[in-house]
């Protein structure tokens, strides 16, 4: 399955699986952006990410860890 920026929940699940020891509340947007790009299944234009998308991914990641 290929992930796009708008696959917020699926990206959050992948981040939780790949970085189980990372606290998403402490991650910066540039670091989060880089980690999303490094996901194997991620395939979208890096330029399509904005602050609102990164914030949504971060919130979904926080929810996944709870």
Q: Would you call 46 helix, strand, or coil by DSSP?
A: helix
pLDDT of residue 66: 84
Domain for residue 47, yes or no? Answer: yes
End-to-end Cα separation, the chain, in angstroms: 25
Owning domain of residue 41: 8-65
If one counts the domains in the chain, the total is 1
Spell out the alpha helix ranges (H) of the chain.
Answer: 8-18, 29-37, 51-65
Domain for residue 1, yes or no? Answer: no
pLDDT of residue 29: 97
CATH value at residue 36: 1.10.10.600
Q: What is the mean pLDDT of each run of 10 residues along the chain (66 residues)?
A: 96 97 96 98 96 98 93
pLDDT of residue 53: 98
Q: Which of these, 45, 57, 41, lies nearest to 9 by C-alpha position? A: 57
Instruction: Kindly report the pTM of this predicted structure.
Output: 0.95
Task: Tell me 26's DSSP state.
Answer: G
Distance CA 51, CA 12 (A): 16
């Amino acid at each position: 399955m290929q992930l796009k920026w708008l696959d917020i929940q699926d990206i959050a699940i992948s981040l939780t699986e790949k970085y189980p020891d990372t606290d998403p509340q402490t991650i910066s947007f540039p670091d989060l952006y880089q980690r999303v790009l490094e996901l194997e299944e991620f395939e979208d234009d890096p330029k399509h990410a904005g602050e609102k998308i990164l914030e949504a991914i971060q919130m979904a990641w926080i929810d996944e860890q709870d």
